[in-house]
Structure 1
Amino acid sequence: MLKPQATATRDLVNLDGTWRFALVQSDIEKEAPWSKPLPGTLDAPVPASYNDIFVDPAIHNHVGWVSYQRTVTVPRGWSQDRYFVRVSAATHRGRVYINDKLVAEHIGGYTPFDAEVTELVKPGESFRLTITVNNELTNVTIPPGIIEVKQNGQKSQRYFHDFYNYAGLARSVWLYSVPKAEYVQDVTVVTDVEGSTGVINYDIKTATPEASNSNSSSVHVVVVDEADKVVAEASGAKGSVKIPNATLWQPGAAYLYQFRAEIRQGGKVVDSYSVATGIRTIEVRDYEFLINGKPFYFTGFGRHEDTAIRGKGHDSAYMVHDFQLMHWIGANSFRTSHYPYAEEVMDFADRHGIVVIDETPAVGLNLAIDSGLFGKKLKHTWGPEYINDQTREAHADSIRELIARDKNHACVVLWSISNEPSSSEEGAREYFEPLVKLTRELDPSRPVCFVNVMFATYDKCLISDLFDVLCLNRYYGWYMHTGDLPTAEAAFEDELKGWVAKYKKPIVMTEYGADTMSGFRSYYNAPWSEDFQVAYYNMCHAVHDRFPEVVGEQVWNFADFQTAATHIFRVDGNKKGIFTRDRKPKAIAGVLRERWNAKLKELNEL
């Protein structure tokens, strides 16, 4: 799951740009879009979601397969290499074809997958690359959904998460090479601190198992600091290196060492791979969340990968601007709600000292929300008809892939394995207990959480004891006691008292907010006005400040974002953003900036 990189022993070709594009109108096996040049005149940009690119409603509302196609040439100098196509994300199911041959298939819309093409095309030759993508969600996918077929035979997608189901190739596609004989296949680093000495524990896997499993001397490690000075070296595929007087990775003050894994033969480097490594520690102690032994208070956001036209398509300009806005407002953290974000976002957070709660795509595991919103008969979430054992295996795969991709990021301090599941419903514990165990086995170095929905209060939740940190989404004053802030404040405080008394764990408020129309002002603090949003947040923060057990606040949401058109309580999307969808500040932005910068000053003085 290593992200491809260009080194002295590896090459990297970016395949972004415009690709031929077509809908699959019937059975994909019968149409076989990979078998010939795609018909029609449509081109689609990569990376981008395809839904909002075109003006044809049939494309925007399409449920099923689509095809992307382009011609690729393998560089002439790759005769001594193996080469792969890497798809950074295909939402939610992807297949890769080289000419007429299927070479890879992957289920899961937010994590990457590779397809080796070495034996199918030679250096200097061109091939037809077709990637088919399916956006369907069922009860055994993560996230889940339901496919309904209308009387006219047209498919319709229902899903139970409150953001638009953008689809396509939303992240980059690459062609990359590695040495043919032996190469670095995986690297795991876990850091520690002993006094002023930084420790990097590592495990390196190579393409030749004997080399990696026998502590072979052909594997060498070099650690380089930001001044490009070698500060530590070691031999062997597994071990540790120590860095005297190490500079730690700190929230807001990132420092990254380059951990370079090398395979050497006869003194010659035949392959190398570098991991940007921040040395830091994480600990949950009683009510505190500690980074490098110091109490940390999360300020920031739940966010979405969501922009106009591009949908969930990764955009470096938006990424940099969004991080600038977070810095301006005093945010030191965010949650990848509700799916893993692009690898470029995680790299950027590493470099700039932004703390991340990293979340799987397990959102919508809660039929009670759907029933409550639309007045339908309450159905059981956990059982054969909806979230079942097969769903849990897909969920387990999403956890495996998330940790495999993001385990080396210093910015990641907490794994979130689900957002707002029906945790108070019978069957929840049986579903989640093995997933928590799996997460801890895959990465014992980080704490684990899930994000609790407002219906599953401290006296009803069946799984909160399994986790290290309590992450609560609460909307007192908006969905409950709407507009009545004094009553909402009392109810909110009363519930937090219950969580503190029962669980004695740190609490992060991972969602709280109120829909707000930019420019709507009200003398009376009317709901949906900017004035009410300010009053609402002031009420919430007054409650937070009464509880030392509250160690963080991530408001919902960073910016307005698109939702399903069938959600008639949304007008052109969710409007809980602190910024509009095009990143203009609402009145609350200045209030948060003052509060959060004061919080950061307090943290720096500890």
Structure 2
Amino acid sequence: MTDHVESYAPGEGRLPPRADFRSDAPRLSLNGDWAFRLTPTAAGTGPDVADPDLDDSGWDRLRVPSHWVLEGYDRPLYTNTAYPFPIDPPHVPAQNPTGDYRRRFDWPFGERAVLRFQGVDSCARVWLNGTELGHSKGSRLPFEFDVTGLLRPAGNVLAVRVHRWSSGSYLEDQDMWWLPGIFRDVELLARPSSAIDDFFVHASYLDGRGTLRVDADRPGIVELPELGVRMPTGETVTVPVEPWSAERPRLYRGTLTAGGERIALAVGFRTVSIVDGRLLVNGVPVLFRGVNRHEHDPERGRALDLATMRRDVVLMKQHNINAVRTSHYPPHPDFLRLCDEYGLWVVDECDIETHGFIYAGWAGNPPAEPAWRDALADRIERMVERDKNHPSVVVWSMGNESWSGATFGELESWIRKRDPSRPIHYERDRSYRHSDFASLMYPSLDELDAIGRGEEPTPEGVEAGSPDDVRRRGLPFLLCEYAHAMGNGPGSLLDYQRILEAHERFCGAFVWEWIDHGLRAPDGGLLHGGDVDYTPNGGRYCLDGLLFADRTPSPGLLEYAKAIEPVVITIADGRVWLRNRYDMADLSHLRLEWTVGHEVGTLTVPHVPARTSASLPLPELPDGDWLTVRAVLAADTAWAPAGHVVAWGQAELAPPRPVDWPRGGFSGVRFDPETGQLVRLGDLEIGGPVLDVWRAPVENDRGQGFRNDLTRAWRAVGLDRVLHRVDEVRTGDDRVVVRGRSGPAGQALGLRTEMCWEPAGDGAVALTVTVTPEGIWTDTPIGGHDVTLPRLGLRLALPAGLTRATWFGRGPGESYVDSRAAARVGRFTAEIDALQTPYPWPQENGNHVETRWLELTGDGQPGLRVEGDPWFDFTARRWTSEDLDRATKPSQLRPSERVWLNVDHGQQGLGSASCGPPLPQRYRLPIRPYTFRVRLAGWG
């Protein structure tokens, strides 16, 4: 029978949902190798799968937890918004891969027991010793069966039939890989007689005192030894406590005892409220500096182990992140325990998304259809009941991108009755009548600023001045997704943060998203959705994280850490100014260090309460150009050692010296008399320079569909196929002037250029470049945008023997005009190959803005020095921008016989238009006349 697969019912035979907890009662993990067989339809291997005497010795072996599509069976599928099956609810295709699992085990721990599954995708039917227990849907949520009376001391057989598709799949369209299987823990729990099965910890905080009550389904004793608390369940006590917060995650550990079982408690006292349109925790406004987090690992998919979850939390803390939205489902319960322990605010989101109904015009959308009411309510109840005792969970989110429907009102009512201590979030219903927050995704900077002022337009479908509209404008605003971190980017993080901190209405924001969803390919590379031959397909849209898939921080994560650093350090007028961005903590846990050149010292940290500022005088400093002041951890923490840099600021100690390059003859300099290009500089052979306006598009240049697609505009006018012409080479005693034109094939528009070379000291030349556009550039909007330049500068071909770059400017990592906060000014050295950021989809990378000078060297190789007037951008790599543009995998990039150096007047910013607003105009290169100047010197 397969009727359960397509029924609206969320399950049958299961126990009511309850809190997840750990106790000293016996527990048997059923993780490990299971017998496994995959079949193409919901019938599975047939009715004998539950038979304890079935000979499964010839079956395959599959580890649990895992996804079978990542273990060599069938294939993973990725979609962003579309369902990978017809929209015909509650039906699914007959081609429904089904995995039959069998596990043999002994159970010597007594009769009363519960069988728990922490997560199965997407529908599981379960038998124990030949008896059917029931079935369940709701992939990212636990379900349990009472197996009392069915267990034997030895020789038990557990059988599970897992269907890839079920009616529940219609509620799980969450911009992620579709990965079936038993992917979270399976365990048997002994339940002693008279033991507590469920309890609810109520631990509030007010004015230095915590109020505690623990409600339970059976009488028990609550003990918190550190507080001297010993009391029965159901009673209330108020005692002096330290509050729990993400900044100081104070937990009081104890036990809840009943029926001979001791349940571990980790109590955090905190109160969440909304007062006068502001989100408060413990009476204090908070600002989420957060990320959206899918569960992902390139080898294991969503089957994460504890070490990987801990690594995520530690990386978040080390990069100043204080909040997580569990997009778009509740995480493994161990992740929430880590958030309690390390300190992260959590918006806990339910396993509900019906985004694919957008392709049906939202007809039949489950939240608007009564037939789905029980399935939706079941998921909400399982989330709230499981996670209700975690102090880190401060907001319930009812789901994501599921439009609207009457059922959301019922879900809201149930949550408020069960847990009035936490506010509720739901973004997609623009009336927000079921949400305690106004919310939005991917607004522009101007739109966000208007929201902060309360001047945003009334949403479509809401009548201006109506009760919904008036209420909405009085709600705190939660930016649940912004700054799409796909490829090289996102840009404007500092701009967004300034706006978020400028208006009291904002309670924070969550970058999309934490980690790239790349899967390990057989050749060791990474797969994205487009590498799977299946339609519909979300392509590489799954590569949109601040971490690369192997959990290496991207430049975007470093930029975000700087944009949200909890202390802003400004140096001016002989003083160091400290602005404390913590919501609750002062700066006593930090130490201040200064650096000038190679000299270091310390500063005394003044008392700076949360959300205030203070200053201290600078000491007498050694001679130098730049001062850097760092705020570092004064002592070890659970997430970083003492000395870990939390924040930093810089100041130039002396005004920049005017450029005064020496003059002289063209000694050791050779030009090609036909092209006017530089051929030799001292002993260094050079090819070029030529005017360069092209970059391999970053993901954000491509926009989303036809929306904000700058790449389409660039290619339409031919910026990827510019050809060069020399009209005149005029040589004199003190200069060489080269005039020409650069223009795209097939177009009348172009750029007139004049390159004026002058001697600038022994073996050096100064180059002044004048660029004048001609044609109909600014009158040719493509896709709604005037054409602008990807970059403007010079490209030089240099010998492959150059291996190292040393520069003074911003570094050490890459930087762009709208993503440079994390790059400090200093002197840096790196191998040329190390200047490349290995984005999984090759694209422009490795740029460095505000470079004062650059030297390229190699062992036994003549070197090159470039100086700016006052500065320039540079990239150096062993392949061209065209090579980057053509490649679809990093493995396709092959070093050429040249080092290609771009010395740019400027390059366009990054933005986040792959899912967001267009790049702000101030970060573009408009079509207009330009003049810039650099000095080139060779030696060796």
Q: Is the 8 A contact 2:514 2:546 kept in 1?
A: yes
Residues 447 and 536 of structure 1: CA distance in aligned 2, closer, same or farther (over 3 Å)? same
The reply to whether residue 410 of structure 1 matches residue 391 of structure 2 is yes
Change (3 A) 1:568 1:297: same
1:18 is aligned to 33
Q: Which position in structure 2 is the counterpart of 1:33?
A: 49
Corresponding residue for residue 65 of structure 1: 98
- How far did 1:4 drift? 5.4
State the alpha-carbon separation in 2 of the partners of residues 52 and 333 from structure 1: 30
Shift of 1:277: 1.3
Counterpart of 1:498 (choices 417, 438, 456) is 456
SS in 2 for 1:404: helix
Helix, strand or coil: the match of 1:592?
helix
SS of equivalent residue, structure 1 residue 221: strand
Q: Report how many aligned residue pairs link the two structures.
A: 513
The one of 332, 344, 352 equivalent to 1:362 is 352
Of 360, 378, 384 in structure 1, the residue corresponding to residue 361 of structure 2 is: 378
Q: Name the counterpart of 1:91.
A: 121
Q: Is the 8 A contact 1:2 1:187 kept in 2?
A: yes
Match of 2:380 in 1: 399
Q: How much has 1:28 moved relative to structure 2?
A: 4.1
SS at match of 2:253: strand
2:484 matches 1:511 = no
1:53·1:309 contact (CA, 8 Å) conserved in 2? no
Q: Which of 236, 260, 272 is the matching residue for 1:240?
A: 236
Q: Distance in 2 between matches of 1:169 and 1:72?
A: 17
Task: Name the counterpart of 2:412.
Answer: 436
1:51 aligns with 2:51: no
Alignment deviations for residues 465-520 of structure 1 (CA, whole Å, 9 cap, x no partner): 3321223222x4xxxxxxxxxxx433454466327985221112111133533xxx
Partner deviation per Cα, 1:202-239 (whole Å, 9 max, x = no partner): 21113xxxxx5xxxxxx3222233xxxx621113x412
- Inter-partner Cα distance in structure 2 for 1:366 and 1:239: 48
Confirm or deny that 1:285 pairs with 2:243: no
**Which has the bigger relative contact order, CA under 8 A and spacing at least 6?**
1
Q: How far, CA to CA, are the matches of 1:299 and 1:491 in structure 2?
A: 19
Offset, 1:535? 2.7
Corresponding position of 1:262: 257
Please give the per-residue CA displacement for 1:167-207, whole angstroms capped at 9, x wherever unaligned: 2111111122121x31112111111224322111221113x
Partner of 1:591: 559
Task: Evaluate the alpha carbon distance shift between residue 57 and residue 304 of structure 1 in structure 2; reply closer, same or farther with a 3 A threshold.
Answer: closer
1:512-543 deviations in Å (ceiling 9; x for gaps): 133533xxxxxxxxxxxx2xx24343443344
Please state how far the C-alpha of 1:24 moved relative to its aligned partner: 3.5
Residue 182 in 1 paired to residue 194 in 2?
A: yes
Confirm or deny: 8 A CA contact 1:333 1:355 kept in the other structure.
Answer: yes
Contact 2:76/2:179, CA 8 A, preserved across alignment? no
User: Does the CA contact (< 8 Å) of 1:465 and 1:503 recur in 2?
Assistant: no
Ranges in structure 2 where 5+ consecutive residues have no aligned partner: 1-17, 79-83, 85-94, 459-469, 519-527, 568-579, 586-608, 611-940
Whole-Å Cα distance in 2 between the matches of residues 584 and 546 of structure 1?
A: 32
Q: Does the C-alpha gap of structure 1 residues 58 and 172 become closer, same or farther in structure 2, counting only changes over 3 Å?
A: closer
As a proportion of its length, which structure holds more strand? 2
Using a 3 Å threshold, how does the CA distance of structure 1 residues 220 and 21 change in structure 2: closer, same or farther? same
Structure 1 residues 535 and 107: CA distance shift in structure 2, 3 A: closer
Give the secondary structure class of the aligned counterpart of 1:115: strand
Segments of 5+ residues of structure 1 without an aligned counterpart are: 146-158, 207-211, 213-218, 264-268, 372-376, 477-487, 518-529
Work out the CA distance in 2 between the residues paired with 1:137 and 1:538.
44
1:345 aligns to what SS in structure 2?
Answer: helix
Which range moves more in the overlay, 92-101 or 333-342?
92-101
SS state at 2:120 partner: coil
**Aligned match for 1:390, one of 368, 371, 375:** 371
Q: 1:469 aligns with which of 437, 460, 482?
A: 437
TM-superposed CA distance for 1:110, in Å, is 1.6
2:248 to 243, 250, 253: 253
Could you say what secondary structure the match of 1:597 adopts? coil
Change in Cα spacing, 1:55 to 1:111, as seen in structure 2 (3 Å) is closer
Distance 1:167 1:56 in 2: 10
Contact 1:233 1:241 (8 Å CA) reproduced: no
Residue 221 of structure 2: aligned partner: 220
- The CA distance in 1 between the partners of 2:160 and 2:238, in whole Å, is 45
Matched-pair contact (CA < 8 Å) for 2:44–2:100: no
- C-alpha contact (below 8 Å) 1:221/1:261 kept by paired residues: yes
TM-score, structure 2 normalization: 0.51
- Rounded Cα–Cα distance in structure 2 between residues aligned with 1:34 and 1:296: 53
Q: Distance between the aligned counterparts of 1:407 and 1:128, measured in 2?
A: 33
The equivalent of 1:144 in structure 2 is 170
**Contact persistence 1:220–1:262 (CA under 8 A):** yes
What amino acid is aligned across from residue 67 of structure 2 in structure 1?
S
Cα distance change on mapping 1:401 and 1:318 into 2, 3 Å: same
Corresponding letter in the other structure for 1:284: I
Whose helix proportion is higher, 1 or 2? 1
Q: Which of 119, 130, 147 is 1:117 aligned to?
A: 147
Q: Are the counterparts in 1 of residues 201 and 215 from structure 2 also a CA contact under 8 Å?
A: yes
Distance 2:99 2:77 in 1: 9
What is the distance in 2 between the residues matched to 1:363 and 1:57?
22
Q: 1:44 to 1:569 in 2, by over 3 A?
A: closer
- Max radius of gyration: which structure? 2
Rounded to whole Å, the distance in 2 between the matches of 1:54 and 1:199 is 53
Letter paired with 1:449 = H
- Tell me the SS of whatever aligns to 1:516: coil
Q: Which residue of 1 aligns with 2:132?
A: 102
Structure 1 residue 120 displacement after superposition: 1.9
SS at match of 2:177: coil
Cα separation, partners in 2 of 1:491 and 1:291, compared to 1, 3 Å = closer
Distance 1:410 1:89 in 2: 23
Aligned partner of 2:542 in structure 1 is: 574
Q: Say if 2:17 is the partner of 1:5.
A: no
Q: Distance in 1 between matches of 2:263 and 2:414?
A: 28
Taking only the aligned residue pairs, the percentage that are identical comes to 22
Cα deviations across residues 534-567 of structure 1 (Å, max 9, x unaligned)?
Answer: 4343443344344331120110001112575557
